[in-house]
Amino acid sequence: MPESTTAQTQREELHKTIWSIADSLRGAIDGWEFKSYILCTIFYRYISENLCSYINRLQQEGGVEGFDYALLSDEEADDESVRMQMVEEKGYYILPSQLFINVANKADKDENLNETLSKVFSAIEASAQGTPSEMAIRGLFSDFGVNNSQLGNTVSKRNQLIAKVLIAIRDLDLASSFEDNSIDAFGDAYEFLMKMYASGAGKSGGEFFTPQEVSEILARIVMQGQSSIQTVYDPACGSGSLLLKFSKLVQDKEDIHYYGQEINPTTYNLCRINMFLHNINFANFDIQLEDTLTKPQHMGMHFDGIVSNPPYSTKWEGKDNTILINDERYSPAGVLAPKSAADLAFTMHMLYHLAETGTAAIVEFPGVLYRGGAEKQIRKYLVDNNYVDTIIQLPANLFFGVGIATCIIVLKKSAKKDNSILFLDASNLFKKEGNKNRMMPEHQDAVVNAVAERKDEQYFTKLVSCDDVAANDYNLSVSSYVEKEVIKEEIDIDTVNAEINELMAKAVTLNDEINKIISEL
C-alpha cells in the first residue's frame, strides 16, 4: 500500500532531524560506536513514554481526568500493585523522577548526570529481576557507557556531551504520544540510524543491517502458501530487522513469536531494543546470546518461517570439533562445512529448525552454489532430498560493505510443490541510488511473483528437475541454468559518420597548430 503524504512528510522530517543530531555529535567517538548512545537514548525515551501512556490510559478509564504519571512524585507513585502490574504487562517499571522526560529536562544542569543515568538504568533492570521479563531487559543499557573516557577526559565534559544527546532526542518531534504517529516513528528512527551508521561503517556496519528491500523479499517468500505465521526465527539475527519485517506484513502481529540468536553482545542488545521499539511485548520474543553453530539455544524447536543473512564465509570449528559431526543438525549430510567457510553450516542448522510446512529464505555468499569438496557434498544432500525450492541471484552492491552479488536460497520440506528447483536471475532488477543499488517495489514484486508462479521465463527464470541438477554436478549457480540476454546495440551509421568527420576535422586543425609551433621554433 502506498505511503500517505502525512507519513512520508513525517518520515522525512524525522530523518532530517536525526541526521542533524548525529552530525552535531561527530568527533567525540567514531560514528559507528556513537550509535549506541543515540539508539539507547531513543529506547529510554520510548519505554518511558510507553509506560506513561499506558498508566495514564488506565487511570482515565477508571474515571481520573487529567492524570499525568510523569508529574507525580516518586512517593505518590509508590504503589506496589501498580509496579507489579506494569512489570507483568510491560516487562519493566520506571519511577516518575526516572522517566526520560524528567531526566532530560534537568540534564544540562545535572552535575552528576552520569550517576543519575547509571542509577536509572540499574533501577529499570532491577524492576524486572526475578520476573519472566528479566532476560528480555537485562543489560539493555550496557553499551551506554556513562563514564567512557572517549566522551571527554573529565566527568564534566562527558556529562555535557551526554546531556546534549538527551536534549536532542527529547526535542525530536515524535508526536504528543507514540501512538499518534502516522509512521512507526521509534522503529523507523532506529532503522534509519542503523542504515546511516552502517553506510559509513563499511563491512562492520553491514553485519548489523540488511537492506529493507531484501528483508521484504525474504519475508514475503516465507509467507507464501502459509495461512498463518506464528513463529519466525533468525539464527544470526543482527539488529533484528529481518525478523521484524513480519510485524509489518501480517495483520495479527500479536500472534507472532520471534526467536533469534546472536554472537555479538552489542548487536544482541540492539536486537532486543529493536523489539521493544517496534512495540513487541517481551513475552513475544526470545533473543539469545551465544554462538549459533556450536552452542544453539533453540535446539528441538521448529519454526514456521526462517529468514537470515548469516555472516559470509566466516570461520568456525568445523571438523576440529569432533562432537559436531554427530550433531543432529549436521550429521544428515555426512560432512561438515569447511572450517574456512561456515555458510552451509548455517544452512544445515536452519534446515534442522524448519517446520515440515515451513519455508526458510537465506541470503548466501555465491560461492556456496558451486564450490567443491564438503560444500558439494552438502548441496548433494539438499538436492537429493528435494529441500531446495528456489535459488535467486540478487543484484550486486545491495549490502553495505559487500559489493558482490549475493543470492537467496529458499528451503522447504513437505511444503515443496514438485521435484524441481526454480532458478531466478534478478541481477538486473535494481535502481542506482548514490553509490548503492536498490531493488524498488516493482523489482521486489517481480521476484516474489515469479517464486509463486514457478514457471519458465526466458532470461529470467528456469524450472529445473533435481535429476538435471544432479547431472550437472550439483551446481546451483543461476547462471548455469538461466540464459543471459545478449543486448545488441543498434548503430546509427549517419551518427557514426558525423562523429568520424568531426574527429578528422579536429585532427587537421591540431596538425596545423603543431606545424605552426614547429616553424616558430
CB 296 within 8 A of CB 260: no
Predicted confidence at residue 488, as pLDDT, reads 61
Q: Give the model's pLDDT for residue 520.
A: 64
Determine the pLDDT at residue 141.
Answer: 94
Q: What pLDDT sits at residue 204?
A: 44
| Cα separation values, 430 from 425, 427, 440, Å | 12, 8, 7
Distances (CA, A) of 191 to 92, 231, 284, 417, 492: 24, 22, 20, 36, 48
Nearest to 166 by CA among 271, 23, 43, 30: 43
In whole angstroms, give the CA distance from residue 460 to residue 472.
20
**Closest Cα to residue 350, out of 338, 342, 361?**
361
Residue whose C-alpha is closest to residue 171's, from 279, 278, 45: 45
- Please name each of the domains of the chain with its CATH number: 5-201 (1.20.1260.30), 205-480 (3.40.50.150)
pLDDT of residue 108: 93
DSSP letter, residue 336: P
Strand partners, 411: 360, 388
Strand order in the sheet with 257-262: 285-289, 257-262, 231-234, 303-308, 354-364, 407-412, 388-393, 420-425, 461-465
Cα–Cα distance, 394 to 396 (Å, whole number):
7
Cα separation, 199 vs 22, whole angstroms: 14
CB 367 within 8 A of CB 313: yes
Classify residue 63 as left (phi > 0), alpha (psi -120 to 50) or beta.
Answer: left
End-to-end CA distance of the chain: 75
**C-alpha 190 chain-centroid distance:** 11
- 293 three-state secondary structure: coil
How confident is the prediction along the chain (521 residues), in pLDDT tens digits per residue? Answer: 445 566 666 667 777 777 777 766 666 565 556 777 888 898 999 899 999 999 999 998 888 888 999 999 999 888 888 899 999 999 999 999 999 999 999 999 999 999 999 999 999 999 999 999 999 999 999 989 898 887 888 999 889 989 988 998 888 776 544 444 434 555 666 667 766 666 555 444 444 467 888 999 999 999 997 767 899 999 999 888 899 888 888 777 778 999 999 999 988 998 898 899 888 999 999 999 999 999 999 999 999 999 999 998 899 999 999 999 999 999 999 999 999 999 999 999 999 999 999 999 999 989 999 999 999 999 999 999 999 999 999 998 887 666 678 999 999 998 888 999 999 999 999 998 877 788 999 999 999 999 999 999 999 999 999 999 999 999 999 999 999 877 666 667 777 777 787 777 777 777 776 776 666 65
φ and ψ of 397, to 5 deg: 60, 35
Q: Please state, in angstroms and rounded to a whole number, the distance separating the CA atoms of residues 148 and 138.
A: 20
Residues 6+ apart with CB under 8 A from 390: 221, 408, 409, 410, 421, 422, 423, 424, 451
